[in-house]
Structure 1
Amino acid sequence: MSASPLCTVDDLAESKAELDEIRHHLHQHPELSYEEADTSSFVAAKLEGWGYTVTRHIGGHGLVASLTAGHGTRTVGIRADMDALPIHEQTGLDYASIRDGKMHACGHDGHTTVLLGAARQIARTRNFSGTVHLIFQPAEEAGSDSGAERMIADGLFERFPCEAIFGLHNHPGVATGTFGFRAGPLMAACDTVKVRITGRGGHAARPHLAVDPVVVGSSIVMALQTVVARNVDPNEAAVVTVGAFHSGHAANVIPESATLDLSVRSFSPKVRETLEARIRALVAAQAESYGASAEVEFIRGYPVLVNSAAETEFARSVAEELVGPEHVISPFPPIAGSEDFAYYLQKIPGCFVRLGNGENRPMLHNARYDFNDDNLTIGAAFWTRLVERFLPKDSA
């Protein structure tokens, strides 16, 4: 008996209306990081209804749905994120968020629905041999102590062993249904730096009797512009952005202190260390030169997301089979944004995939953003076919 045909996008056509309904429900009911109780319960109920063994409350509101078929012993994991953002939605959609100040502005409602669509198709056809673990993760947007970290700490891979793990994120600015792949570093490490400058307050008319933290902070801001330009290899990529500068309240008062908040991005551990060292040194030197002092808090965020070569090539081949090479970008350009999927890839090999959300659609984290429903069946077919290819069905 020959193996069953692999999944195509057309095979998901009959599921499109149901997937639209699921996605719109999730979009209307967003929950922030660490608060995804309703979303998790909704997802778990769907999966249990399709025959999955669902384990809840992993690292908080995370869950894993497991399904075994055939006699195969191999395993694979696929992850979707579930949390929303603290943004007031401005889309005007009839399924817009009903929770004020909370919005699915990054497409996690779509990611979750895509994986649910695949879950339904995988359970229906069971065209694989082995075990698939579908990982629905909370708190990707947390920035630190994220859902991935918590699920790993809660024994994710010990309890649900995976030979490889795969994940997906939509990408506005790229044509709908176009897949992007890049082996090696794909997304940047993201660190936050908080600088507190202490000077000496005084009267604006007597600056010589004060130490002005505004001047000190301004000097630090300008000096920081040299870090990437003069301390990082031109063949490497890095970003140092001062996103906030706060000091003072009145025009005629020299304040006592000032604060700076920085976002720092890098694509290699070596560059990451260089950035921290140079930022600390520049801040201290600039403050001292003005007779002020400065404290630097360097908060490590998500690490560099590094796709493994073999799994990236495998996922790329699945996408080319599904949608054709003309709808695949490889290598995809590096992305300065960050993702806690990076923590999974530090533990086991895998690949994080980008899926075009449309060329002229609002960017991520925008109040007018919306996940493109045209991707629901495309993404679900991709995950289904990937499972079928990673865990090929027994032939007899």
Structure 2
Amino acid sequence: KAGVLENPKVDMIFGLHSDSRFQVGEIGYRYGAAMAEPDEIAIKIKGKGGHGAAPHLTVDPVVIAAEVILALQKIASRMIDPTENIVVTIGKIEGGQTTNVIPDEVNMLGTVRTLNPELTPKIPGMIEQILKGITSAYGGDYELNYDFGYPVVMNDDQANDILIEAGKEFLGSENVKEIPMPSMGGEDFSFYLQKVKGTFYRLGTANPEKGTTGYWHSSHYDINEDALPVGAGFMAYLALKALEKL
């Protein structure tokens, strides 16, 4: 939006992300779709609270929410072509204050991940269909807020070719690894890739002896600073290689 890709004009762009699946000194690459679009959902299930000993006088939003969570998993398994990549996860559910009171509402937060930009716009309607059907069956109601996230990370073939050639020269052929499957994680580097040809690759950080093998965003993750000079050195070499090729 600020025009950073226009002055000076950027012809190709490269980005990296640490990855403990690869050893220090290795890089990982992938052609095509590499990371998913990470959308966010917020759902409120509206019921009618009351005493836990008299559920027949209530509209229990906890029970409704439980059915909704299970039904949302059918989007991937029964409502979409099984060859598509999609994840629907509810990561937070909150409702009620004590053991013997049925609350008036339950709030849920979750994420939807897709790799097909043509599929993504269809998902809110599927969620809406499930919510409407289940809540109406029990006399409840709902609110849905669907927030579309970053686009899919779509790597450019030419940029990957340059990356691989530079990697073999700088790191050695044995240290340039193809990533066999896309990640369902998301990355805002994808906005750059919508404007400029480029690729987003992985920089190895694993070292079992130092205990740096934990996955990203987990309590076991620990940065391996030995990877920093490798990453900086290779990125500089990659930029020079790209300038030769373009």
Structure-1-length-normalised TM-score: 0.58
Describe the superposition over 1:96-137 as per-residue Cα deviations: whole angstroms up to 9, x where unpaired: xxxxxxxxxxxxxxxxxxxxxxxxxxxxxxxxxxxxxxxxxx
- Name 1:265's counterpart in structure 2: 113
Q: Distance in 1 between matches of 2:203 and 2:125?
A: 36
Please state which structure has a larger fraction of its residues in strand. Answer: 2
- Name 1:238's counterpart in structure 2: 86
- Give the C-alpha shift of residue 179 in structure 1: 0.9
Equivalent AA in structure 2 for residue 174 of structure 1: F
- Name 2:124's counterpart in structure 1: 276
SS at match of 1:240: strand
CA contact (8 A) 1:173 1:359 kept: no
Identity among equivalent positions (%) equals 36
Q: Distance in 2 between matches of 1:235 and 1:326?
A: 32
| Among 211, 214, 223, the residue aligned to 2:71 | 223
Higher relative contact order (CA 8 A, sep 6+): 2
State yes or no: 1:380 paired with 2:228. Answer: no
- Give the C-alpha shift of residue 236 in structure 1: 1.7
| Among 18, 32, 57, the residue aligned to 1:170 | 18
CA contact (8 A) 1:187 1:338 kept: yes
Q: Distance in 2 between matches of 1:295 and 1:174?
A: 43
Work out the number of aligned pairs and report it.
241
- Give the C-alpha shift of residue 275 in structure 1: 2.4
Q: Distance in 1 between matches of 2:241 and 2:102?
A: 66
Q: Within 5 Å, which residues of 2 pair with 1:77-156?
A: 153-156=1-4
SS at match of 1:385: helix
Describe the superposition over 1:292-348 as per-residue Cα deviations: whole angstroms up to 9, x where unpaired: 001100011111111111111111111011112211112442111111000000111
CA contact (8 A) 1:175 1:358 kept: yes
- Give the C-alpha shift of residue 173 in structure 1: 2.2
Structure-2-length-normalised TM-score: 0.92
Q: Which runs of 5+ in 2 are unaligned?
A: none
- Name 2:32's counterpart in structure 1: 184
SS at match of 2:237: helix
Q: Distance in 2 between matches of 1:338 and 1:288?
A: 34
Equivalent AA in structure 2 for residue 378 of structure 1: V
| Among 242, 254, 270, the residue aligned to 2:102 | 254
SS at match of 1:220: helix
**Residues 359, 281 of structure 1: alpha-carbon distance in 2 compared, 3 angstrom cutoff:** farther
- Give the C-alpha shift of residue 207 in structure 1: 1.4
Root mean square deviation, CA, Å: 1.6
Q: Which runs of 5+ in 1 are unaligned?
A: 1-152
Equivalent AA in structure 1 for residue 223 of structure 2: F
Equivalent AA in structure 2 for residue 343 of structure 1: F
CA contact (8 A) 1:180 1:332 kept: no
| Among 192, 198, 205, the residue aligned to 1:357 | 205
- Give the C-alpha shift of residue 359 in structure 1: 5.6
| Among 296, 302, 316, the residue aligned to 2:150 | 302
Q: Distance in 2 between matches of 1:337 and 1:177?
A: 23
